[in-house]
């Protein structure tokens, strides 16, 4: 005969389940840190790199200097075939970049203007959550970056990113890079790539390549955690928007409109 | 046992044939030789002792890779306390070992190792290949 009677066992099991012993409760799953991170993480401590793009200084020009500089220093290939395009930073029409920010009365002169778009280095990045190998991860300073050595090319992140910030190498990228810079590795067929917020340049105390190249000084970069930083100055007192803010990803790229 | 002689002769021939490659190499002096490595620099020492490097350079590279990519570090401090500005496969290793084909590749071909690093990391002078 067992010591614990059936009734008693059920009672204990029920108590255990209520307390969530031996597994995550539904509450934890739904409301856990990960899910609420988009709001909780808004309090930035330490270093939190961010970018402010002043579209007022940018949209009026038909300039792609930031794109050229970024793609040059990081050996990003230029494919003509639209299906194979690889991009770290590019220009997108206002209506596509901010689908929740425009309406039919704005006029084409606003909605068709293009703004620079790049990885948002989200507070709560969906790409990190879906990556099965830890190839995409968030650094302590907030940069969401890729460890190419771990990328298995599954492309979950391409689907997970709501900003289209990721590109997949369908073929050998070296065929489409004019002058390869030996200082930064290329990628190879079968891996995903995206903007790294110039982590490579930051470690050398250099500013991001796009910011450095902008002739109109439309891009500001700095540490959100530092009250004196240029990004905090650029954000203060101005109306700024972020892409698809309602999704709760918490982008670190801000746009002054 | 009138076949003993035949058996012994057979055995001798058999052993001779089986060990033939060894005799052939010893007498002919064609035994496998270590590949000739061109270090590629005037510097006298590697970043760590040569013997250690020979055995563990792949582990060191993995450590560098993780520290640079995942931890955002930059400098390497060797066991002798010397600091190196970077931890880069191309920028550091190949800066001294300037002839990859006569150093890394020669030894790897000999050992049957085929690192895939160069699909992405660039060999100076061989960009795009």
Same domain as A17, residue A108: no
Question: Which residues in chain A have Cβ-Cβ distances shorter than 8 Å to B119?
Answer: 188-189
How far, in Å, CA of B40 to CA of A13, rounded?
A: 70
Distance from CA of A79 to the nearest CA of B (A): 15
Q: How confident is the model at residue A166 (pLDDT cuts 50, 70, 90)?
A: very high
Partner B contacted by A178 (CB < 8 A): no
Least confident stretch, A16-25, A58-67, A77-86, A131-140: A16-25
Same domain as A131, residue A55: yes
Q: How confident is the model at residue A122 (pLDDT cuts 50, 70, 90)?
A: very high
Same domain as A25, residue A42: no
Partner A contacted by B65 (CB < 8 A): yes
Same domain as A63, residue A115: yes
Partner B contacted by A65 (CB < 8 A): no
Q: Is the ipTM of this complex over 0.85?
A: no
pLDDT exceeds cutoff 80 at A37: no
Paired tokens of B10: 């057979």
Tell me what the mean pLDDT of segment A74-102 comes to: 95
Q: Encode pLDDT of A170-212 as tens digits.
A: 999 999 999 999 999 999 999 999 999 999 999 999 999 999 9
Q: Which candidate in A149, A197, A202 is best for mutational testing of the B interface (most B CBs within 10 A)?
A: A149
By the 10 Å C-beta count (0-12 exposed, 13-18 middle, 19+ buried), A210 is classed as buried
pLDDT exceeds cutoff 60 at A29: no
Task: With beta carbons less than 8 A apart as the criterion, state whether A247 and A162 touch.
Answer: yes
Question: Which residues in chain A have Cβ-Cβ distances shorter than 8 Å to B72?
Answer: 139, 141, 199, 202-203
Partner B contacted by A176 (CB < 8 A): no
Partner A contacted by B61 (CB < 8 A): no
Same domain as A124, residue A24: no
Same domain as A201, residue A105: yes
Distance from CA of B114 to the nearest CA of A (A): 16
Tell me what the mean pLDDT of segment B22-45 comes to: 79
Partner A contacted by B29 (CB < 8 A): no
Determine the pLDDT at residue A62.
Answer: 85
Q: Which of B46, B39, B57, B53 is nearest to B82 (CA)?
A: B46
Same domain as A144, residue A63: yes
Same domain as A105, residue A189: yes
Determine the pLDDT at residue A1.
Answer: 44
Question: Which residues in chain B have Cβ-Cβ distances shorter than 8 Å to A187?
Answer: 120
Partner B contacted by A179 (CB < 8 A): yes
Q: How confident is the model at residue B67 (pLDDT cuts 50, 70, 90)?
A: very high
Task: With beta carbons less than 8 A apart as the criterion, state whether A49 and A132 touch.
Answer: no
Same domain as A84, residue A16: no
Determine the pLDDT at residue A7.
Answer: 60
Q: Which residue of B has its CA nearest to A76?
A: B120
How far, in Å, CA of B46 to CA of B39, rounded?
A: 10
Same domain as A137, residue A164: yes
Half-sphere exposure of A104 (CA within 13 A, CB side): 0
Q: How many domains does chain A have?
A: 2
Half-sphere exposure of A63 (CA within 13 A, CB side): 16
User: Which residue range is the domain that position A27 belongs to?
Assistant: 1-31
Q: Which candidate in B65, B72, B121, B129 is best for mutational testing of the A interface (most A CBs within 10 A)?
A: B72
pLDDT exceeds cutoff 90 at A81: yes
Question: Which residues in chain B have Cβ-Cβ distances shorter than 8 Å to A204?
Answer: 74
Sign of CA dihedral A239, A244, A247, A252: negative
Instruction: Show the DSSP H helices in A103-236 as ranges.
Output: 108-111, 126-130, 156-160, 199-202, 209-213, 230-235
Determine the pLDDT at residue A223.
Answer: 96
Chain B from 80 to 99: CB within 8 A of any A CB: 89-91
Determine the pLDDT at residue B21.
Answer: 72
Question: Which residues in chain A have Cβ-Cβ distances shorter than 8 Å to B68?
Answer: 203
- Do B72 and A186 make contact, defined as CB atoms within 8 angstroms? no
Q: How confident is the model at residue A159 (pLDDT cuts 50, 70, 90)?
A: very high
Q: How confident is the model at residue A42 (pLDDT cuts 50, 70, 90)?
A: very low
Tell me what the mean pLDDT of segment B103-114 comes to: 96
Determine the pLDDT at residue A242.
Answer: 97
Domain containing A120 — which CATH number? 3.30.70.20
- Do B69 and A148 make contact, defined as CB atoms within 8 angstroms? yes
Residue ranges per domain, chain B? 1-31, 50-119
């Amino acid at each position: 005969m067992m010591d614990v009677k059936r009734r008693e066992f059920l009672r204990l099991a029920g108590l255990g389940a209520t307390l969530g012993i031996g597994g995550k409760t539904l509450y934890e799953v739904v409301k856990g840190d990960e899910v609420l991170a988009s709001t909780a993480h808004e309090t930035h401590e330490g270093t939190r790199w961010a970018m402010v793009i002043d579209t007022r200084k940018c949209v009026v020009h038909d300039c792609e200097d930031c794109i050229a500089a970024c793609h040059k220093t990081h050996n990003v290939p230029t494919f003509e075939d639209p299906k194979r395009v690889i991009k770290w930073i590019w220009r997108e029409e206002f209506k596509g970049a901010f689908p929740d920010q425009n309406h039919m009365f704005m006029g084409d002169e606003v909605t068709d203007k293009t703004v620079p778009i790049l990885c948002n280095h989200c507070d709560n990045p969906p790409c990190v959550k879906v990556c099965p190998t830890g190839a995409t991860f968030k650094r302590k300073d907030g940069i969401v970056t890729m460890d190419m050595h771990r990328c298995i090319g599954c492309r979950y992140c391409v689907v997970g990113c709501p900003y289209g910030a990721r590109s997949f190498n369908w073929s050998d990228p070296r065929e489409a890079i004019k002058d390869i810079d030996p200082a930064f590795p290329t990628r190879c067929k079968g891996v995903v790539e995206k903007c790294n917020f110039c982590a490579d340049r930051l470690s050398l105390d250099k500013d991001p390549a796009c910011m450095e190249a902008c002739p109109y000084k439309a891009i500001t970069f700095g540490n959100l955690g530092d009250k004196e930083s240029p990004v905090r100055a650029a954000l203060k007192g101005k109306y700024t928007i972020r892409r698809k803010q309602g999704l709760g990803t918490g982008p670190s790229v801000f746009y002054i409109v | 046992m009138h076949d003993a002689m035949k058996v012994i002769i057979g055995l001798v021939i058999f052993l001779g044939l089986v060990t033939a490659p060894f005799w052939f190499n010893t007498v002919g002096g064609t035994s496998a030789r270590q590949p000739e490595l061109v270090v590629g620099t005037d510097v006298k020492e590697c970043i760590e002792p040569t013997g250690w490097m020979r055995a563990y350079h792949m582990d060191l590279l993995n450590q560098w890779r993780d520290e640079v990519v995942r931890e955002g570090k930059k400098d390497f401090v060797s066991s002798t306390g010397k600091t190196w500005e970077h931890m880069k496969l191309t920028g550091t290793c190949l800066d001294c070992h300037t002839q990859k084909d006569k150093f890394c590749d020669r030894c790897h071909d000999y050992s049957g190792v085929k690192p895939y690093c160069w699909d992405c990391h660039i060999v100076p002078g061989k960009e795009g290949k």
